[in-house]
Structure 1
Amino acid sequence: MAADILLYQADMVPVGADQKQHLELARDIAIRFNSAYSPTFTVPEPYIPKLGTKIMSLQDPEKKMSKSDTNPLGFISLLDSRDVIIKKCKRAVTDSFTEIKYDPENRKGVSNLMQIHSCFSGKSLDEIEKEFAGKGYGDFKAAVGETCANGLAPIQERYNAILADQAYLEQIMKQGAEKAARMASKTLRKTYKKIGFYSIG
């Protein structure tokens, strides 16, 4: 991970709260190398949004949502159909309470759904609490499903459009690979020069 970040001189890296230690290693390597051989690598900064950095399983809010979950109801795929997304949200595990309230320590299930709703709707957690005051989990889960499906719809539309145009897809992949190779070569040449190695290529 550190090599992937430093090689391309990334200045900001989006990471989840549980991945911050990996970025710290990249930062430490960059700082140490720059100190020993003069500025060479960009020292990356983490970008950690306040919400959505760690979405939990819909069926087990104690563990992180993962596409490798053996329970398909536990995660939402980017390509899930609208009906499937809504169904998964409606079947999400919550608790025995009835109030829609954000309490990630004691009410992990409903708090997880509130985070998902907030990420897609742009509403604050306070706004969500007020919107669903006096309403039950059924109404809330349905709304989360609708909001999630609406948020993923343009991503799915764009994905399908790109996938349908193989020539365009191959062109973009080729251009991306060439650009990445140029950036990587530039960094490697600079690094070799700083430490006294002969540059390759």
Structure 2
Amino acid sequence: MFCATRSSALRRRVFLNVTKPRNISNAPRKRVILSGIQPTGVPHLGNYFGALSNWVKLQREASADDELLFTIVGWHALTLPQDPKVLATARTDMLAFLLAIGLSPQKSIIFHQDHNPCHTELAWILNCLTPFGKLKRMTTWKARLADSRNANDESEVDESLLNAGLFTYPILQAADILVYRATHVPVGDDQTQHLELSRDIAQIFNQTFKNRLFPLPQQLNTPTKRILSLKDPSSKMSKSAPDTQSRILLTDTPAQIRAKIRGAVTDSIQGITYDPVARPGTANLLAILAACTNEDVTAVAERYRDKRHGDLKAGVVDAVEGVVRGPREEFERIRKEEGYLALVATEGAEKARALAEVTMRDVRKLVGLA
């Protein structure tokens, strides 16, 4: 844990190193990697294998010149109805989880998005530059609304329920990226359209003000394992699904993990084969086991070829508990250290604001608000 004296010295050093005056520069920059996650409840196994474990891998393999930023995007969570007390707790829970899985404040900038007003300032400026038609072509807002209402088909969603924030949040997402002039963004295929919009917006700004201020962020392809619902393997594992037995949380006890895996949907076909189309439930269990053991799923299927579903589920239980145990225990320890969590959040926000303010000084000068 940091002492107060060291914390103050760190803040002074970060501010002096990052925010010294400079002219607008178009020189090539180091690799800046940014990604974010919503504070919408305890992460589940799909979150872990889809994003969080890759963040730890990126941190581990980063070069000395790389800058890594990981943010908890509280403003994005507000696009859907939230209980304020639940959201406040969820924000702290998510910060504790990021530390529990191995992200380090000494190696990465870990912060709450809503602690840095530069995000919303830039988002408003970008709102005033982004053509309405580009937002209308976005497909994810309707999918999110359908998911929140547990609709089976996006066509079932009444567009009159759409709020302005849910419609324009891709611009805030672009601001999240561009305010740090991020060069690389690790996202899944479902976020490719958002990243393309961020590139379009960066280009619009650069062309409008005849300055290559913003690099065009590149999608950083990282290996991800798509984990599906234990109860409906046609859908991804989700925190918003009404059936709590459909997902494995990183806080689940061994007994809870065992009960959920035992109740997972499979089929009545003899033997174990990997066939996501004909046997989606069985294939999902094989994929979970392969993700936990870092093996090729076809090799796992071959190992279980002559076994029963009960044997497969027992193997999945052991493998999942092996993955979850460490983060679960570390989370339980860190979550009790409220002072340490507050310090990490404060120092992360100060580092993030210092970097973002450099960009915003250039933006304000270019648009005439300096």
- TM-score (ref. length: structure 1): 0.88
Alpha-carbon deviation of 1:48? 4.2
> Quick one: structure 1 residues 50 and 175, their matched pair in 2 at CA, closer, same or farther if it must change by over 3 Å?
closer
Q: Distance in 1 between matches of 2:213 and 2:271?
A: 54
Q: Distance in 1 between matches of 2:313 and 2:222?
A: 23
Alpha-carbon deviation of 1:183? 1.8
Q: Which residue of 1 aligns with 2:341?
A: 169
Which residue, out of 57, 76, 89, partners 2:261?
A: 89
CA contact (8 A) 2:304 2:312 kept: yes
Q: Which residue of 2 aligns with 1:19?
A: 191
Higher mean alpha-carbon deviation, 170-179 vs 34-43, is at 34-43
CA deviations over 1:50-84 (Å, ceiling 9, x no partner): 441x3221101112211121111111111111221
Q: Which residue of 2 aligns with 1:38?
A: 211
> Quick one: structure 1 residues 47 and 82, their matched pair in 2 at CA, closer, same or farther if it must change by over 3 Å?
farther
Residue 76 of structure 1 pairs with residue 269 of structure 2: no
Q: Which residue of 1 aligns with 2:357?
A: 185
Q: Which residue of 1 aligns with 2:34?
A: none
Q: Distance in 2 between matches of 1:186 and 1:16?
A: 29
Q: Distance in 1 between matches of 2:207 and 2:273?
A: 49
Instruction: Give the letter for the 1:169 counterpart.
Output: L
Unaligned runs of 5+ residues in structure 2 are 1-172
Instruction: Give the letter for the 2:213 counterpart.
Output: T
> Quick one: structure 1 residues 67 and 196, their matched pair in 2 at CA, closer, same or farther if it must change by over 3 Å?
same
> Quick one: structure 1 residues 4 and 107, their matched pair in 2 at CA, closer, same or farther if it must change by over 3 Å?
same
Q: Which residue of 1 aligns with 2:331?
A: 159
CA contact (8 A) 1:87 1:145 kept: no
Count of residue pairs brought into register by the alignment: 197
SS at 1:188 equivalent: helix
Unaligned runs of 5+ residues in structure 1 are none
Which residue, out of 268, 275, 280, partners 1:103?
A: 275
Alpha-carbon deviation of 1:158? 1.9
Residue 113 of structure 1 pairs with residue 290 of structure 2: no
Q: Provide the identity percentage.
A: 38
Q: Distance in 2 between matches of 1:17 and 1:143?
A: 29
CA contact (8 A) 2:202 2:216 kept: yes
> Quick one: structure 1 residues 106 and 13, their matched pair in 2 at CA, closer, same or farther if it must change by over 3 Å?
farther
- TM-score (ref. length: structure 2): 0.50
Q: Which residue of 2 aligns with 1:4?
A: 176
CA contact (8 A) 1:57 1:75 kept: yes
Q: Distance in 1 between matches of 2:175 and 2:192?
A: 15
Structure having greater relative contact order (Cα 8 Å, sep ≥ 6): 2
CA contact (8 A) 2:273 2:302 kept: no
Instruction: Give the letter for the 2:177 counterpart.
Output: I
Residue 143 of structure 1 pairs with residue 318 of structure 2: no
Q: Distance in 2 between matches of 1:27 and 1:100?
A: 44
CA deviations over 1:4-37 (Å, ceiling 9, x no partner): 1222233332323222212221122123333443
Alpha-carbon deviation of 1:92? 0.7
CA contact (8 A) 1:65 1:75 kept: yes
